[in-house]
Amino acid sequence: MNLNPAQAYEKFFEGNERFISGKLSHPRQDVEHRTEIAEGQTPFAALFGCSDSRLSAEIIFDVGLGDLFVVRNAGQVIAETILGSLEYSVEVLKVPLIVILGHDGCGAIQATIASSEGTLVTQGEFIQNLVLRIEPTVQAAREAGTDSIDEITALHIKATVQELISRSTLIDSAVRSGKLAVVGATYQLALGKVTPLVTIGNVN
């Protein structure tokens, strides 16, 4: 599947429109396609999203096996393993689009807000590490006068896009060359709708 960033973007969001309307096509999910792609993958996009069980990428974008290269963790927090995975998707798999996807009512954001208020109770040291990565965004939001979880999530998504571009020379170069676009977006759980918040690169 050889698409440019604009074509991949259109395909991505057309699938979400089908999911919203309930007119799903369930493409490339049959036995024949499973056998066909067993020897190799050619995804048309990479998705870095929250691990929330309600954010099943292939379902909410109505795509099939081999269409998306998916990387996830709680709160879509950048880490070296995430950067390496996304660089792999660009350098080796040649995806023209990376979508960073957060969602409303995010538990990781809620935990970070609770931590900043001194009310988070957890025994997991690595949960606390995750929270610490999100805290600067919560602090910035409060300084800007907002405690809204969804507004904080939007700020976190935008910050994650910028961190990806700033930390990965490979991804930054691919964007500058026009081979790649990076989109930060948010997902509304009840509506099933994905709304772009920030775009780096050309998707027109």
Question: Strand order of the sheet with strand 68-73?
Answer: 68-73, 45-50, 97-103, 181-188, 193-200
- Under the banding of pLDDT at 50, 70 and 90, the label for residue 118 is confident
HSE (side-chain half, CA atoms, 13 Å) at 163: 19
As a whole number of angstroms, the distance between CA 42 and CA 106 comes to 31
Residue 125 lies in a domain: no
Residue 117 lies in a domain: no
Q: Which residue has the higher pLDDT, 64 or 68?
A: 68
Closest CA to 150 of 115, 195, 97: 195
Residue 109 lies in a domain: no
Q: For the CA atoms of the chain, what is the radius of gyration? A: 17
pLDDT higher than threshold 90 for residue 29? no
Residue 153 lies in a domain: no
CATH code: domain of residue 178: 3.40.1050.10
- In this predicted model, what pLDDT tens digit does every residue of 154-198 receive, in sequence order? 999 999 999 999 999 999 999 999 999 999 999 999 999 999 999
Residue 180, judged by CB atoms within 10 A of its CB (0-12, 13-18, 19+), counts as buried
For residue 12, how far is the Cα from the chain centroid?
12
Residue 133 lies in a domain: no
Residue 1 confidence (pLDDT): 63
| Domain around 71 | 5-103+159-200
Mean pLDDT of 19-38: 78
Buried b (16+ CB within 10 A) or exposed e, 128-147: eebbebbeebbeebeeeeee
Residue 88 lies in a domain: yes
Residue 124 lies in a domain: no
pLDDT higher than threshold 70 for residue 43? yes
Q: How many CB atoms lie within 10 A of CB 33?
A: 14
- In this predicted model, what pLDDT tens digit does every residue of 121-131 receive, in sequence order? 888 888 888 99
Total count of domains within the chain: 1
Check: CB of residue 20 under 8 Å from CB of residue 191.
yes
